[in-house]
A and B are shown apart, each in its own frame.
Chain A
Amino acid sequence: MWVCTGCSCLCDDVEIEGNNVKHACRIGAGIILNRSVARAEPLIEGRKTDMDSAIEKAVEILKDSKGVAIYGLNNSTLEAQRIAIKLAKKLSAYVDNGSKFEKLAEMILNKEIPSTTLENVKDYAYVIFYWGCDVHNSMPRHMSRYTYYPRGKKRQRGYEEDRFLVVVDVRRSHTAMLAKKNAVFIKTDDDRKLVREFVTALEGGIASGDVLRVVKELKKSDFNVIFGGEGLIKGLGNEFEEFVKLVNSVGYFIPADYRTNSMGFFKSIFEAGISKANFEDLLIDETIDTAIIVGDDPLNSMPFEIAKRLVKLKLIVIDPKVSFTSKIADVVIPSAISGVECGGKMLRSDFVEVELKPVFKSEWDDVEILKSILEGL
């Protein structure tokens, strides 16, 4: 069995027989089948070089820098994240993974908001909320492997009778289209207002028809769960008080952050006693002159007005594949694909630790590269 690193589901039931990848979603199968396509090569200022020279150049840049940020790390193992944190401490550098789940992750780890595991959801959950997330696209096996569709210990009669699905979004997403029998889709442009409406209804107050219907279903079970995505976080605007109240009434909350090892990143930085920076703010404020981008591609994820500022920086890109950001980098250091060509551990979206089972072996992975840079300094 292979552990898929396509998203934070970290599905550990994938079988690989030659070119046949069984049980994986399109993202997971693609990682294996296309692993040799568009691989990065060691580059200095766009010219081919060898690994040692690329790492030496990266060290040289870092020694001359006045402000450094390390960005990405969501596709890196816990081991690599911890070395990146050591490197950040050595350089007094900022770290950011680009995820907005920091506050909710911190609340889960501090037990300020009740959370549970995906296995428990499968076995016991009745009402399942997907709030501000389209998991059908971002975490394709989330519903089929862990939540809505599978039968569990206390949920033997299948999703049409033993589950109740609630999808909340600004649009009718593919996930919302699955809300048919024993399900409801609530369209909202005001998440905070809807959270308040749910809290009011749960306390016996007045609410709209859909909300009252969901509340009636919530009262049928003592195990209900909310999966919240980036849309929810954006909608709440960092005001979590009412939402925590809602989760306490509903049952449990699990982040629906698709980034593969985002929860690992949060746990790693909290354990190390450092705070997550906001890379976009660092670029806007011109706080840094150098960035190490690990397994991420900000040109493919950040607004143009901010991303264009990357051109002014010294950029060191560590990535298994050619990316847009690697095209503007000063140094490119090719790495292994985590879980495919190197092992280690990652945390699933519910903070469950998973040991990766690589099927190939690469000489250089994030751990080795970051270690070499650290030693060079």
Chain B
Amino acid sequence: MLRFAKFLKKVELRLITYRDGFQVSVARKDKFSDEFIEKSAVIIVHPDTAKTFGFKDGQIVKVSANERSANLRLKVSEIAPEDGALMPKSIYSCYLFSDKITIEPTDGEITTPNELLEVYT
């Protein structure tokens, strides 16, 4: 990858969802809890992707797809595909469901499930 990629403001990646055991556990406990947000409002990228585009583990990013967006916590892990991003299956991944998503840094707060529910209703 070229070094100038680090200055890209928006990165387009394909999205894959997966079932995360810890997330399932908190979802079964209480979907309106902080724990649920912590385990669900997450997007995971591969270490190579993070290095290429200058993403840092733990930063908040704005993830957009199909004219919808949500602020999520970015995590860096080898469980993500090298050419895409990974999200645990939840209302967040459903809301952003798309083959392609864009990720960009943001100073905003993490989106809550109640904020997403407002869009549904």
- The interface-forming segment of A219-227, A271-279, A318-326, A362-370 is A318-326
B88, chain A: closest CB distance, angstroms: 9
Contact of B79 among A34, A138, A172, A307 (CB under 8 A): A172
The complex places the Cα of A305 from the Cα of B113 at a distance, in Å, of 17
B50, chain A: closest CB distance, angstroms: 15
A324, chain B: closest CB distance, angstroms: 5
Kindly list chain B residues whose C-beta atoms are within 8 Å of the C-beta of A6. 28
- Given contacts A140-B21, A170-B81, whether A311 and B30 have CB atoms under 8 Å apart is no
Task: Name A269-322 residues within 8 Å CB distance of B.
Answer: 297, 299-305, 307-308, 310-311, 321-322
The complex places the Cα of A37 from the Cα of B36 at a distance, in Å, of 13
Residue of A nearest to B114 (CB): A327
Contact of B78 among A30, A172, A323 (CB under 8 A): A172
Kindly list chain B residues whose C-beta atoms are within 8 Å of the C-beta of A174. 79
Main secondary structure, interface of B, reads mixed
Kindly list chain B residues whose C-beta atoms are within 8 Å of the C-beta of A301. 89, 94
Contact of B81 among A137, A171, A299, A324 (CB under 8 A): A171
- Given contacts A171-B86, A304-B94, A305-B97, whether A136 and B21 have CB atoms under 8 Å apart is yes
Contact status B117-A324, CB under 8 Å: yes
The complex places the Cα of A303 from the Cα of B120 at a distance, in Å, of 11
The complex places the Cα of A25 from the Cα of B80 at a distance, in Å, of 24
Interface of B toward A, CB cutoff 8 Å:
16, 18-22, 24-33, 66, 68, 78-81, 84, 86, 89-91, 94-97, 113, 117, 119-121
11 additional A-B pairs beyond A37-B29, A138-B21, A305-B97, beta carbons within 8 Å, are A34-B29, A136-B21, A137-B24, A140-B21, A170-B16, A300-B31, A300-B90, A304-B68, A321-B28, A328-B117, A328-B120
* Listed A/B pairs (17) with beta-carbon separation below 8 Å: A6-B28, A30-B28, A31-B28, A38-B29, A137-B19, A137-B20, A170-B16, A171-B79, A172-B79, A173-B18, A300-B90, A304-B119, A308-B120, A311-B121, A321-B30, A324-B91, A324-B113
Interface of A toward B, CB cutoff 8 Å:
6, 25-27, 30-31, 34, 37-38, 134, 136-138, 140, 170-174, 177, 258, 297, 299-305, 307-308, 310-311, 321-324, 327-328
Query: Lowest 8 CB-CB distances: which A-B pairs, in order?
Result: A303-B97, A38-B30, A34-B29, A137-B21, A171-B81, A30-B25, A138-B19, A26-B25
